A and B are shown apart, each in its own frame.
Chain A
Amino acid sequence: MSASLVQQLIDGLAALMLLTSFALLAQHRMLSVLNWFAAQGFLLAATAAVVAYGTDNHELYISAMMALLLKGMLLPWLLWRVIRKLRVHREVEPLMNSTLTMIIALGVTLFSFHIIQPIEKISELMTRDSMAIATACVLLGMLMMITRKKAITQVIGFLAVENSLFFAAIGSTNGMPLIVEIGIAFDVLIAALIFGLFFFQIRTTFDSLEVDAMNVHLIHKDDDE
């Protein structure tokens, strides 16, 4: 495989990454959100493997395997189990209508392209083109966190941000040291488990997974006092 083909593959994967970030924002059903989230994990693994091949960096193969197992399979499965156990409403409930969200998302992507451009010019890496997309994906994950009502979709947004940061790390530095990456991977896993526990706690305390319910609860408490 020639270097230019590797670069084209990375560009293609970056474009797909951007697509999954948009798709996560656009989905209406919980199951499809999880499917796209899993697809994002697979894409990350593929990108890591391609970069590992292109730069001859063997540690990245291990990160690729970890991304595949953890982000492509384990996390979506864990979240799906939690969703089924909690019997959450199967529909995602956004705060804004989806067209408006999409327009904001396009604006955010343009913005990140604009701010990354100067950095791209000085970079020598073969993955430099994907940096703007990684930044856009981080911002899109944040957008997902602030435009959803339910705690569970916000957590998926958070995990998507983590995915994009991983992608940014591969793109901008050809991967972090392996020990750091293993540490982050376990952090994310533990975070997902703790979030799972939180969901049950939030539900038993507030009878709902909607984050607004917590505010209402607090206000009522103030009234009582």
Chain B
Amino acid sequence: MSSAFVQMLQAILLLLLAPLAAGFVSTCKARLQNRRGASVLQPWRNLRKLFGKEVVMAEHASWIFRTAPYVVFTATVMAASVVPALLVDTPLSLTADVIALVALLALARFFLALAGMDIGTAFGGMGVSREMTFSALAEPAMLMSIFVLSLGAHSTNLTTMINHTLNSPFALHPSLAFAFVAMLMIAVAENGRIPIDNPGTHLELTMIHEAMILEYSGRHLALMEWAAMVKLMLFATLITDLFMPWGMTLEASPAGVSLALALWIVKLAGLLLALAVIETGLAKLRLFEVPEYLSGAFVIAFLGLLSYYMLEVGA
């Protein structure tokens, strides 16, 4: 197997598994709440239905509104395919820089925000203002928590960072624990899950993501929703890459890749199950408490940075 083939395989897997992952979370949530819930395949069926429907557009929609779904989807998929999932050293590994990754996600968010404001409905503008406020706080916290790992690896390149983690002997790292907690908090916020945003509702005054895409329909809506699912997968994979990369293969052999694939799916399932438990156990935060939650994540990430210098540099 060539490494380019594995790269393609993991990008396609990420795309195809994303709706399944979303379905898995909602099924787990349903079971935890003593409901039967829809099948794991439900998000796939929704997407298929939406792709088959005609697009209804507002009278004043400009080209931004029409192109935004494609830009958002492409940027997210690009970001997702750059993140190593199975193979550590992929042909795209030079681009797998965390800062570039965050920039790609920011591009997607920028167009999402423009599209939300384009039609000029009250809901769109409201959702956008919230999204931008929170992302301005979430982004530095996310970078800060990744920098904790970069300090040890001396690089912001994901492949280098994974190699560093794989090669260093096992030890207790308080700084990594802080970074991990901060990253989990940010991942929950960035993907619009409870306690920040409720993904299960379409009409609630405090919604954020749904408010921005409220005017979309048909294939546009399908692309937007698919992009959101891919983003969830992307964050889950990023967390496994950064904090538990064990099992990822160094060479593209069939045995190595299939083992990495099995472990990757197990790790993802574990993270998504944890997400379902969190979403069931917590109530949504009041909107004005979200900045505090995010600055809390920032403080924890910063503590990770400090404890790296205080406890781990000399030792």
**A positions within 8 Å CB-CB of B:** 4-5, 7-9, 11-12, 14-16, 18-19, 22, 26, 98-99, 102, 105-106, 109-110, 113, 120, 128-130, 132-133
Contacts and interface: CB of A to CB of B under 8 A. Distances in A.
B302 A15 contact: no
Given A15-B311, A120-B314, A106 B171 contact: no
B308 to A, nearest CB: 10
A17 B312 CA distance: 16
B295 interface: yes
Contacts of A11: 172, 174, 307, 311-312, 315
Contacts of A19: 178, 300, 303
Contacts of A120: 314
A102 B295 contact: yes
B172 A106 contact: no
Given A11-B172, A11-B315, A113-B310, A18 B303 contact: yes
Contact of A99 (B172, B292, B303, B312): B292
Given A16-B174, A102-B299, 6 more contacts: A9-B172, A11-B172, A19-B178, A98-B292, A109-B306, A132-B310
Nearest to A16: B174
B315 A7 contact: yes
A89 to B, nearest CB: 19
B306 A113 contact: yes
B299 A106 contact: yes
A4 B159 CA distance: 29
Contacts of B178: 15, 19
A14 B311 contact: yes
Interface in B40-61: none
Contacts of A4: 171
Given A98-B292, A99-B295, A106 B302 contact: yes
A18 B307 contact: yes
Contacts of B299: 22, 26, 102, 105-106
A12 B172 contact: yes
Interface string B156-176: 000000000000000110110
Contacts of B302: 106
Contacts of B292: 98-99
13 contacts: A12-B174, A14-B174, A14-B311, A15-B175, A18-B307, A19-B300, A19-B303, A22-B303, A99-B292, A102-B299, A109-B306, A110-B306, A133-B310
Contact of B309 (A8, A9, A98, A113): A113
B140 interface: no
Contacts of B306: 18, 106, 109-110, 113
**Chain A contact residues: helix, strand, loop or mixed:** helix
A16 B299 CA distance: 14
A194 to B, nearest CB: 34
Contacts of B303: 15, 18-19, 22, 109
A15 B295 contact: no
Contacts of B295: 98-99, 102
Contacts of B175: 15
Nearest to A21: B303
A18 B296 CA distance: 14
B117 to A, nearest CB: 27
Nearest to A26: B296
A157 B310 CA distance: 23
B35 to A, nearest CB: 32
Contacts of B307: 11, 14-15, 18, 133
Contacts of B171: 4, 8
A16 B172 CA distance: 13
A130 B299 CA distance: 19
Interface centre among B299, B310, B311 (most CB of A within 10 A): B310
B310 to A, nearest CB: 5
B310 A129 contact: yes
Nearest to B292: A98
